[in-house]
Amino acid sequence: MLLDIKTISGLPGSIISILTWLVDRQQCRIQKADLKYKLFDRRLKIFKSFMSFLADTLQRGKTDFESIGRFRAETGVTSLLFPQNILQKRDEIYKNGLDLITIMERLYPSNGGRGVPKGPERDNLCEEVTALLSWFCDQTKETVKLFESVMKIDSLD
């Protein structure tokens, strides 16, 4: 009978230990879910910056240093939140944006001066602008696909 009392008196301690473990486990799940939400929120802001820059560039048919600078600033933490392929996409968009600015400046100088005169050189520059704008148009779909692969809540582990 004495053995049974010792066994029974240890039972509450074991139950408390098991309950403590269950509570700790649930707390870990809650914290992980909260981290996923916060990560998604930060990633969504960067995704919106990508899409906003692409849409603005396509809508205006050009970009400028202010817009591209804002894009670079808003996506500055891309390397901390995304895999390398999205960082490469950001750099590619940035580079092509700078190329577009450079070509447009040659065609339509911001100082009001004459651009490249009509002729083969101007025709080539216009073809480059068309190719770049077509590339920017393609990036809207490609960017969505690229971000979908990492933005799903399930993939945020």
**Phi first, then psi: what are they for 82, rounded to 5°?**
-135, 160
Whether the per-residue pLDDT at 30 is higher than 60: the answer is yes
Residue 154 binned pLDDT confidence (cut-offs 50, 70, 90): low
pLDDT tens-place string over residues 63-107: 999 999 999 999 998 888 899 999 999 999 999 999 999 999 999
Question: 147-155, long-range: CB within 8 Å, 24+ apart, which pairs?
Answer: 147/43, 147/47, 147/50, 147/86, 150/43, 150/82, 150/83, 150/86, 151/40, 151/43, 151/44, 151/47, 153/36, 153/40
Output the pLDDT for position 10. 66
The reported pLDDT for the residue numbered 7 is 62
Q: What is the per-residue pLDDT for 37?
A: 75
CA angle 60, 84, 46 (to 5 degrees): 45
Which pTM does this prediction carry? 0.76
